[in-house]
Structure 1
Amino acid sequence: MQHPPQYSPKVAMVAGETSGDLLAGLLLDGLQAQWPGVAGHGIGGAQMQARGFDAWWPSERLAVHGYSIELVRRLLGILKIRKDLRARLLADKPDVFIGVDAPDFNLGLERGLRAAGVKTVHFVCPSIWAWRANRVEKIRASADHVLCIFPFEPELLARHGIAATYVGHPLASVIPMQPDQQAARAQLGLAKDDEVLAILPGSRSAEVAYIAKPFFQAAALIRKARPAIKLVVPAVPALRARIEQIARECGVLEQLTLVTGQSHAVLAACDCTLIASGTATLEAALFKRPMVIAYHMHPISWRLMRRKQLQPWVGLPNILCRDFVVPELLQDAATPQALADAVQQWLDAPARDPARMASLERRFTALHESLRRDTPRLAADAIQKILA
């Protein structure tokens, strides 16, 4: 089907949480370069709204944590939003619906819209290669096309009859190949020769509730061994007060430098990071920083997740490198002493094990190169072909 020269598609989108909002904002950049009049409507956050997106509900309404207990508490409200959104979109059908991440919410919505004749795109392949492989059938029924951020995903989806395009990972273009550590330290008020540990206990309240305490207890142990070390914590504004409270209970609040946001500056500035499993671990890898990955969740959620896990790794850097490039301390293994010991091994490595540091930088540089693509343009080109 050929569209007239001034054609501008009607686009509906749903992005969940901060990471989805960032991805959707970059996608809107590509769509607007292709079709200057596109703005979109649906569910989105600040990045999308800055590009003219009409957010009928904010992305934060979809934010959940865990697999069972935490999800149940908010399930009814989320299902009501999805029902209302579906009714609005069916009453005035878009040319294309783009579900950005949030697969538990978006795939069911996409399936209903697709059945009604709406073209559907899912941006970010659900991690069927890591756990919940049975979800592939739902993807096939829901999405006309999948935009993938990891290079091995299109071939995997093709085996199941699902059309997909690798568009690269947006973070790989945002983060420089060679980060300027000294500029980042100057930005944060740190000295050139400081030893710096970045502590990232997560961007969700439930993550902070479970992992911040052992992180700060580990920080206290590290401080005893290395009194001069600088501890820097980037906190999302909504969680800053809670992080301060937990740090105070652990007796390290006075030793921390708490900054609002600025996680990229903190990762660029640090020598090592103690970090909760999630997208931030990939950011740390792109900054070529040693890390200790940890996670803790409700015991029932943990048992359910472990049953469905398909790979031996949980952290994205290890999954993508297909190796335990950095240590993972999960659930009961994430004790303060174990975390402190693993961090100090990295801090000692430049002097005691330089080969380990050199190997880490080589692996993370190769990973960075494999992920860096013109994501907005590639995604918009794929969507244009679907609409044509």
Structure 2
Amino acid sequence: MTSTPRIAMVAGETSGDLLAGLLLDGLRGLWPGLQACGIGGPQMARRGFEAWWPSERLAVHGYSIEVFRRLAGIMAIRRQLRQRLLQDHPDVFIGVDAPDFNLGLEADLRAAGTRTVHFVCPSIWAWRAERVEKIRRAASHVLCIFPFEPELLARHGIRATYVGHPLAGVIPLVPDRAAARAALGLAPDDRVLAILPGSRSAEVQYITPKFFEAAALVQQAQPAIKMIVPAVPAMQARIEQAAGAAGLAGRVQLVSGQSHAVLAACDVTLIASGTATLEAALFKRPMVIGYHMHPLSWRLMRRKQLQPWVGLPNILSGDFVVPELLQDAATPQALAAAVLDWFHALDHDAARMAALHHRFTALHESLRRDTPQLAADAIQKVLADPRA
């Protein structure tokens, strides 16, 4: 296709908005006059994306209870979007992550003759393996952010391209800790714990109190440790309240956003399972991964889990490189002990710290590609492929 294509996109949540923004950069490199519309967030809007609904409308947490509370509104949005796209077909529809929303929509659009691309292979290698059939029906092509995924999809007859992980290109191979500390008002020789309990409302509800209770125990053991928490503006008041409830009022530095600066600056991070754990690995930081959710959501998720790990650094390494403390195991005492163990290693176990840095550097290099360009090139080929 030589003319500028008409593109529709759906990105859910902050991480999807970031991915879609980078993809739009690559697409505009091929087609400077490109227009795209659908569901998106602020990163996409900065690239001229026309959002019919904001991506935050799709943000949910958990596997059952939390989703059901918002399901009616989300399904209504999908029905309206489906009708609009079926009436006025785009040349290609790109679903960015949000598989529960996007795969069904993609299947309907593809059945009606629209080419469909799914950006970020659902983690069928970790849990919910039955999704592979839905992916095969839904996606003309899948853009993969992990190098082993295209071969896995090919076994099921699904075309795919590895485009690298965009975070590996955004985060420098050697982070500038000194600059990050200066920007955050931290001294070069401070011992710093970063606390990242997640950005969703339910994560703040279920995870933040445990993390701050653990942080209080850490500070009792080592009063000189400084603690810093990056928070989205909408959650700052609740996070401050949780810190106060744990006896940490005025003892935790709360910053608006700036999670990358915080990870670059810290020595150790106590972090909720999710994409942020991969960011911490790319910053080469030792971490303790914790998570807690509604008990019913937890039971349903565990039934579909295929691997012994939930943290991305451990999944990609195939080993418990960093500790995971989940659900009932995520007690403040256990979390604090694991954090203090890393601080002990920083002072007394250089070999362990060097081994972790080596693992995370190798991981970074394996994920580092020109993601916007590779993804845009793959989409251009899909548009030109009569089989798509």
Aligned to 2:242: 246
Structure 1 position 203, deviation (Å): 1.2
Q: Distance in 2 between matches of 1:354 and 1:332?
A: 32
Match of 2:304 in 1: 308
Q: Is the counterpart of residue 43 in structure 1 residue 39 in structure 2?
A: yes
Tell me if 1:211 matches 2:207. yes
The structure 1 residue matched to 2:197, chosen from 182, 187, 201, is 201
Of 313, 323, 334 in structure 1, the residue corresponding to residue 319 of structure 2 is 323
Please state how far the C-alpha of 1:351 moved relative to its aligned partner.
2.4
1:369 to 362, 365, 372: 365
Name the residue aligned to 2:223.
227
Measured in 1, the distance between the counterparts of 2:23 and 2:323 equals 33
Corresponding residue pairs, total: 384
1:334-373 → structure 2 map (5 Å cutoff): 334-373=330-369
Structure 2: which 5+ runs fail to align?
none
Q: Is 1:91 aligned to 2:87, yes or no?
A: yes
TM-score, scaled to structure 1 = 0.98
CA deviation string 1:145-187 (max 9, x = no partner): 0000000000000000000000000000000000011110000
1:32 aligns with 2:46: no
Over residues 302-348 of structure 1, what are the superposed CA-to-partner deviations in whole Å (9 max), with x where a residue is unaligned? 00000100000000000000000000000000001100000011011
Listed one character per residue, the Cα deviations across residues 72-96 of structure 1 (whole Å, up to 9, x for unaligned) are 0000100000000001111110000
What are the equivalent positions in structure 2 for 1:72-151 lying under 5 Å apart? 72-151=68-147
Residue 105 of structure 1 deviates from its aligned partner by 0.1
Q: Deviations over 1:181-219 (max 9, x none)?
A: 111000000011100000000011101110100100011
The separation in 2 between residues aligned to 1:200 and 1:350, in whole angstroms, is: 20
SS at match of 2:382: helix
Partner residue in 2 for 1:63: 59
User: For 1:9-68, what per-residue CA distance to the aligned partner results, in whole angstroms no more than 9, with x for missing partners?
Assistant: 000000000000000000000000001111300000000011000000000000000000
Deviation by residue 1:213-257 (Cα, 9 ceiling, x = unmatched): 010001111111111111000001111111011111111021000
Partner of 2:252: 256
- Secondary structure, in 3 states, of the residue corresponding to 2:284? coil
Q: What residue is the counterpart of 2:274 in the other structure? A: 278
> Which amino acid in 2 is paired with 1:149?
I
Task: Supply the distance in 2 between the matched residues of 1:358 and 1:192 (Cα, whole angstroms).
Answer: 20
3-state secondary structure, aligned to 2:21 = helix
SS, match of residue 57 in structure 1: strand
Q: Give the distance between the partners of 2:145 and 2:162, measured in 1 at CA.
A: 6
Give the C-alpha shift of residue 355 in structure 1: 1.1
Matching residue within 284, 287, 290 for 2:286 = 290
Distance 1:253 1:319 in 2: 36
Equivalent AA in structure 2 for residue 305 of structure 1: M
Q: Secondary structure at the match of 1:11?
A: strand
Aligned partner of residue 283 in structure 1, secondary structure? helix
3-state SS of 1:233 partner: strand
Structure 2 Cα separation of the partners of residues 252 and 332 of structure 1: 23
2:179 matched residue in structure 1: 183
Give structure 1 regions of 4+ aligned residues with deviation exceeding 2 angstroms.
Answer: none
Q: Percent identity?
A: 77
Task: Encode CA deviations 1:124-144: one digit per residue, 9 max, x unaligned.
Answer: 000000000000000000000
Residue aligning to 1:19: 15
SS in 2 for 1:78: helix
Is the CA contact (8 Å cut-off) linking 1:28 and 1:39 kept in structure 2? Answer: no
- Give the counterpart letter for 1:41 in structure 2: C
| Structure 2 Cα separation of the partners of residues 164 and 253 of structure 1 | 49
